[in-house]
Amino acid sequence: MICVQCKNVLVAVTMTVHEDTPGSQENKAWPSTQNPTVTWLLSVKNSMPFLPETLASIERQTYKNHQVLAWDDCSTDGSLEELQRWIPNRLPGKIFAHQSKTLGASLAFLVEQASTELCARIDGDDVNLPTRLEKQVSFLLGQPHIGIAGGQISVINENGEIQDAGHWWTYATADALLRWRSRWQSQFCHPAVMFRRSIVLEAGNYRDVKAAEDSDLWLRLCERTGMANMTDKILHYRRSRSSTTGKVVEFLPYERETALRNATILFPNISAPQRAMELWEATHPLYLSNPSRFRDLFELKGAAIALAKKVGKDRNYFLNTATFQEQYESLKIRFYERQGVLSLRKSWHRLLGRA
């Protein structure tokens, strides 16, 4: 049983758990247990009327060896009472309540309290597809170098209707692309991920970063573990006016804050935070229009090579990603434009028979 002291009252409901052996290195041989217990990490704040559907989707999982750690952040809409109807009578787990924490802080607490190596995130308004855990557990058991695995999603509205979200909510699957692009943008749907607890703790756990506690963690995980998104659709992700991301119109300020907080590790070849942020601004994949300098070309390429070396990959590992190549070509074009030689370059290419 977990016992926690706090200023008010923190509820803890006892359950039986099975502890897995943690690992901490990308190339480490992870436990080969074929039926490891998975811990759901559920942070709730006024999640009614969607919470019952979320909990039911946990109960319907085809993979049955799981438990729930739930944090209720002083809800006033009956969310705590709903959690108590399910946990532990229908879902094995614990509820922690009557103390206010931010999302990042509450998730950090739940990670610390978890006693299993595999942890799955879920929010109180999203809906798991029945085979989600089965697919993610199988994937991670078969991919020992992967420390975090997400998947594809459908976006639903307040009425549970699937929305046409286009390419914005389609997630890349390749490790190199995920680890490189995570320097600028989150590459995972947060409530759809499963990760190895030991890797998250090794990276410093979740931190209190408003609307970006996930991307802040993913960025710190990039140099520690392999990453993947499965091609399978595993979650119905709800976007509503009351949800955290539903209120966000522009993500760039949060992405910039995350980068600034991690400026010393953004690019392995750049230790000065100010210079790292200058390069970050010049190479953001969605804002490739800022003026660039010749040094940007050398430093971006150097960063990709240095990162590959740091994580034990071939020097071209990140250079070959579509994102890097687009960034690099854009930097060249903007540099030529700044020097007033872009038209000359195009004429020279035409003479050579190149596009």
pLDDT of 170 strictly over 70: yes
Structure confidence by residue, pLDDT tens digits, 263-281: 999 999 999 999 999 999 9
Q: At 25, which amino acid appears?
A: Q
Per-residue pLDDT, 25: 47
**C-alpha–C-alpha distance, residues 68 and 34, integer Å:** 20
257 vs 169, which has greater pLDDT?
A: 257
342 vs 29, which has greater pLDDT?
A: 342
Determine which of 48-57, 75-84, 235-244, 271-280 has the lowest per-residue pLDDT on average: 235-244
Determine which of 21-35, 151-165, 186-200 has the lowest per-residue pLDDT on average: 21-35
Domain with CATH 3.90.550.10 in the chain: 38-251
Per-residue pLDDT, 153: 96
> pTM score, two decimals?
0.86
User: Taking residues 53-75, what's their average pLDDT?
Assistant: 98
**C-alpha–C-alpha distance, residues 180 and 320, integer Å:** 11
Structure confidence by residue, pLDDT tens digits, 122-142: 999 999 999 999 999 999 999
Nearest to 157 by CA among 269, 255, 237: 237
Are 185 and 222 within 8 A, CB to CB? Answer: no
Q: Give the domain 38-251 fold.
A: Spore Coat Polysaccharide Biosynthesis Protein SpsA; Chain A (3.90.550)
pLDDT of 10 strictly over 50: no
Per-residue pLDDT, 306: 98
**C-alpha–C-alpha distance, residues 332 and 329, integer Å:** 5
Per-residue pLDDT, 247: 61
103 vs 11, which has greater pLDDT?
A: 103
Count of H helices and E strands in the chain?
13, 9
pLDDT band at 293 (very low <50, low <70, confident <90, very high): confident
pLDDT of 63 strictly over 80: yes
pLDDT band at 305 (very low <50, low <70, confident <90, very high): very high
pLDDT band at 289 (very low <50, low <70, confident <90, very high): confident
pLDDT of 171 strictly over 80: yes
pLDDT of 73 strictly over 60: yes
**C-alpha–C-alpha distance, residues 258 and 163, integer Å:** 29
pLDDT of 324 strictly over 80: yes
pLDDT of 8 strictly over 90: no
Most confident of 2-16, 28-42, 199-213: 199-213
pLDDT of 89 strictly over 70: yes
Unique residue bearing structure tokens 């750690």 = 69
Token pair, residue 266, equals 């953004």
pLDDT of 337 strictly over 60: yes
pLDDT of 229 strictly over 80: yes
